[in-house]
């Protein structure tokens, strides 16, 4: 594997995580539980789709097949998407949406903090830009985890249940393979061990304030990074790709 191929794989993961979570949050447009949250969640969706545009643009240039960001977003097969399984999980109730967001934001922020100093200039500049918004996202999702966990009995039980369901998907955020190792060796990307320490610190701190506990079992689900997705992914892609599949090459 060449450095360029490894970088393509790596950037595609960053782009797909943003794209798929952005799509999930966009489903809430007009369906948020309260007006302010409807606006907040779709704002975050817009940021994530903006990130996906830049990452997939960059991946397209690295890939050598002259694919545009739209080609990558709309015209791949399910097994070619490499987002983590966590991000394609359905919105569920508001607690599920917030918990999925929090587990991801707490990972994405330290990752981008590190990537903004990458020796690959394009990667560094996208990370620098995306980090500013990600700080807001993490603030928002942390505050809600605490408010729900430390709220009524019902909200506490619901958010505890969300953590119980989603925690098993969070381990995959730290998935590494030879693409990572090759880039880590040339100091282009950080080792995910260091990011995991940061993630655990944030997660522990926020769950303590929220009064919720990590599940006792240690189940781990993975596969998304290798293109093996959960059953939800097909439905998500059907909606995401509908226009391009129905009217190929259409533009706004």
Residue 47 found at the interface with other proteins (CB under 8 A): yes
Binding mask 187-216 toward other proteins (x if CB under 8 A, else -) reads ---------------x--xx----------
* Closest distance of CB 50 from other proteins, Å: 3
Task: Return the biggest CA–CA distance within the chain.
Answer: 54
- Enumerate long-range contacts of 210-219, CB under 8 Å, 24 or more apart: 210/145, 210/146, 210/148, 210/149, 210/150, 210/159, 211/149, 211/150, 211/156, 212/145, 212/149, 212/156, 212/159, 212/160, 212/163, 213/160, 214/163, 214/167, 215/163, 215/164, 215/167, 215/168, 219/168
Nearest to other proteins of 126, 166 (CB atom): 126
Residue 125 found at the interface with other proteins (CB under 8 A): yes
Residue 147 found at the interface with other proteins (CB under 8 A): no
| Window 100 to 119, contacts with other proteins (CB under 8 A) | 109
Residue 40 found at the interface with other proteins (CB under 8 A): yes
Tokens of 118: 């990458």
Residue 140 found at the interface with other proteins (CB under 8 A): yes
CA dihedral for 193, 194, 198, 201, sign (positive or negative): positive
Nearest to other proteins of 49, 75 (CB atom): 49
Per CB under 8 A, residues contacting other proteins are: 36-37, 39-40, 43-44, 46-51, 53-54, 109, 121, 124-126, 128-130, 132-133, 135-136, 138-140, 142-143, 202, 205-206
């Amino acid at each position: 594997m060449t450095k360029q191929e490894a970088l393509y794989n790596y950037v595609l993961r960053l782009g797909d995580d943003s794209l798929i979570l952005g799509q999930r949050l966009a489903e809430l447009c007009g369906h948020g539980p309260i007006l302010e949250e409807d606006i907040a969640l779709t704002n975050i969706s817009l940021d994530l789709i903006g990130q996906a545009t830049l990452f997939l643009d960059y991946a397209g240039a690295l890939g050598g097949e002259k694919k545009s960001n739209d080609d990558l977003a709309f015209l791949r097969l399910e097994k070619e998407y490499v987002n983590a399984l966590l991000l394609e999980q359905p919105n569920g109730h508001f607690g599920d949406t917030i918990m999925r967001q929090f587990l991801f934001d707490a990972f994405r922020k330290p990752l981008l903090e590190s990537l903004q100093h990458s020796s690959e200039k394009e990667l560094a500049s996208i990370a620098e830009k995306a980090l500013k918004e990600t700080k807001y996202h993490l603030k928002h999702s942390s505050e809600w985890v605490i408010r729900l966990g430390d709220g009524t009995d019902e909200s506490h039980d619901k958010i505890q249940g969300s953590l119980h369901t989603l925690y098993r998907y969070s381990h995959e955020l730290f998935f590494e393979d030879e693409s990572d190792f090759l880039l880590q060796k040339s100091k282009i990307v950080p080792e995910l061990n260091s990011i995991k320490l940061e993630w655990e610190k944030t997660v522990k701190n926020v769950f303590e304030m929220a009064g919720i506990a990590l599940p006792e079992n240690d189940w781990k689900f993975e596969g998304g990074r290798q293109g093996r997705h959960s059953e939800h992914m097909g439905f998500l892609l059907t909606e995401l790709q509908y226009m391009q599949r129905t009217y190929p090459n259409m533009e706004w």
